[in-house]
């Protein structure tokens, strides 16, 4: 049944992955639920971040329980630069992440406005340039602005992570036209919708548009049943991908009967 | 007031005293930092290969950073 898609992988800087769901590690009700939700999502990439270590307030482990749990999952790690407002902060956080997590992947986040956590496009481009020169494989969290996307691709980004809507809002794809434009203009770039997905149907919509993957966190972690929601998103993303590969019908403005009408008992009968 | 043989630094924005001519590595040990971690010195990344070679001076600010949940 899945012959068409069995070899269908998403590529992250040369690494081919079967799962098109990337999952975050924050906001879950408990570490146990986090682990179960991540496993049930079948994600192969998990995101994480950095924070000050305080042996006095992080308990006897110094906050290392989380790190051990994440390591036990055996997934690819994608550290982010969440909370950074300047190029210098983001670059330094990326360097710390590379040393700590032993990966040159960095999900580059640069906040430009605290109201909607909208990425600062100018700082994002500057930081991307510096990090790529330093050997990083940058996955920039960006808006759906086509021209900023162009600058990022021109700098060498093989992956773009445009928002669907602001982080944590769950509003879905607010500007399908803009997202479709990015997809269509960069057919060789891996496009991952990074934020704003609230429901499995949002994820399906994005996948039907041809984006390569979805990154989820709040939508799963803040569900009443995160593990069940992780399963739902996995199915939704697979459905959207299959639909994209299958090719959806052309939308029409007028009705067209699906049942043949010629020679029906009432053919040509006046109303 | 700091003792004459000590200097005042900050670790994770909290005042911290270490002996003069302490290295970053020594300060991290006294802070009881739990590996794995990464370090900023005065806002700039400091590679772990430099911990034992970098001497602290009065007013230095260290940040000891480790993994947390993230989206």
CB B31 within 8 A of CB A55: yes
Q: Where are the domains of chain A?
A: 27-51+70-246
Q: How far apart are CA A20 and CA A10, in angstroms?
A: 6
User: How many angstroms away from the CA of A68 is the closest CA of chain B?
Assistant: 10
Q: Which of B31, B37, B70 sits opposite A100 (nearest CB)?
A: B37
Domains of chain B in sequence order: 6-65 (3.10.20.30)
Instruction: For B17-58, write each residue's pLDDT tens digit.
Output: 999 999 999 999 999 999 999 999 999 999 999 999 999 999
Instruction: For A135-178, write each residue's pLDDT tens digit.
Output: 999 999 999 999 999 999 999 999 999 999 999 999 999 999 99
CATH number of A27-51+70-246: 3.20.20.70
Q: Which of B33, B43, B48 sits opposite A53 (nearest CB)?
A: B33
Between chain A and chain B, the number of residue pairs with CB atoms below 8 A apart is 103
Query: Which residues of chain B neighbour A70 with C-beta distances below 8 Å?
Result: 67
Instruction: Kindly state the average pLDDT of the residues A54-70.
Output: 74
Which of 95-124 (A) contact B at CB < 8 A? 95-97, 99-101
| ipTM value for the complex | 0.94
Instruction: Kindly state the average pLDDT of the residues A64-84.
Output: 96
Tell me whether A18 touches chain B (CB under 8 Å): no
Residue A42: the pLDDT is 98
Instruction: For A77-134, write each residue's pLDDT tens digit.
Output: 999 999 999 999 999 999 999 999 999 999 999 999 999 999 999 999 999 999 999 9
CA torsion sign, A7 to A13 to A14 to A19? negative
Residue A2: the pLDDT is 47
Give SS3 for A208.
Answer: helix
Percentage above 70 pLDDT, chain A: 93
Q: How far apart are CA A140 and CA A49, in angstroms?
A: 15
Asked if the model's pLDDT at residue A5 lies above 60, the reply is no
Angle between helices A87-101 and A121-133 (to 10 degrees): 40
Instruction: For A194-239, write each residue's pLDDT tens digit.
Output: 999 999 999 999 999 999 999 999 999 999 999 999 999 999 999 9
Band of pLDDT at residue A269, cut at 50, 70 and 90:
low
Report CB contact under 8 Å: A24, B69.
Answer: yes
Report CB contact under 8 Å: B68, A34.
Answer: no
Look-up of token digits 């593990």 = A227
Band of pLDDT at residue A264, cut at 50, 70 and 90:
confident
Asked if the model's pLDDT at residue A16 lies above 90, the reply is yes
Q: What share of chain B is helix, strand, coil (3-state, %, to 5)?
A: 15, 40, 40
Tell me whether A41 touches chain B (CB under 8 Å): no
Asked if the model's pLDDT at residue A47 lies above 90, the reply is yes
Look-up of token digits 């069940």 = A228
Asked if the model's pLDDT at residue A59 lies above 70, the reply is no
Which of 135-194 (A) contact B at CB < 8 A? 167
Q: How far apart are CA A33 and CA A40, in angstroms?
A: 10
Residue A25: the pLDDT is 98
Query: Quick check: is A107 catalytic?
Result: yes
Instruction: Kindly state the average pLDDT of the residues A27-44.
Output: 98
Instruction: For A231-263, write each residue's pLDDT tens digit.
Output: 999 999 999 999 999 999 999 999 999 998 888
């Amino acid at each position: 049944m899945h012959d068409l898609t069995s070899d269908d992988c998403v590529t992250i800087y040369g690494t081919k992955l079967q799962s098109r769901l990337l999952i975050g590690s924050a906001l879950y009700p408990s570490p146990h639920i986090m682990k179960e939700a991540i496993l049930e999502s079948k994600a192969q990439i998990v995101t994480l971040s950095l924070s000050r270590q305080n042996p006095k307030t992080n308990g006897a482990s110094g906050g290392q329980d989380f790190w051990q749990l994440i390591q036990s999952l055996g997934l690819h790690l994608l550290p982010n630069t969440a909370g950074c407002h300047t190029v210098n902060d983001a670059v330094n956080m990326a360097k710390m992440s590379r040393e700590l997590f032993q990966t040159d992947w960095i999900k580059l986040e640069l906040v430009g406005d605290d109201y909607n956590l909208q990425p600062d496009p100018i700082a994002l481009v500057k930081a991307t340039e510096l990090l790529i020169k330093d050997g990083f494989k940058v996955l920039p969290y960006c808006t759906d602005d086509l021209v900023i996307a162009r600058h990022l691709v021109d700098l060498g980004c093989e992956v773009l992570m445009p928002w669907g809507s602001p982080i944590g809002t769950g509003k879905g794809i607010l500007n399908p036209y803009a997202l479709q434009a990015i997809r269509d203009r960069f057919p060789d770039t891996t496009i991952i919708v990074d934020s704003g997905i609230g429901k499995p149907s949002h994820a399906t919509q994005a996948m039907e548009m041809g984006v390569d993957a979805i990154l989820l966190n709040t939508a799963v972690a803040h569900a009443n049943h995160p593990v069940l929601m992780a399963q739902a998103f996995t199915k939704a993303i697979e459905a959207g991908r299959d639909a994209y590969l299958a090719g959806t019908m052309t939308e029409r403005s007028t009705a067209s009967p699906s049942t043949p009408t010629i020679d029906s008992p009432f053919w040509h009968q006046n109303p | 007031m700091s003792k004459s043989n000590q200097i005042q630094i900050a670790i994770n924005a909290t005042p911290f005293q270490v002996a003069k001519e302490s290295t970053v590595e020594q300060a991290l040990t006294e802070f009881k930092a739990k590996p794995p971690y990464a370090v900023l010195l005065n806002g700039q990344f400091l590679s772990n290969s430099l911990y034992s070679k970098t001497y602290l001076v009065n007013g230095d600010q260290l940040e000891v950073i480790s993994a947390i949940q993230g989206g």
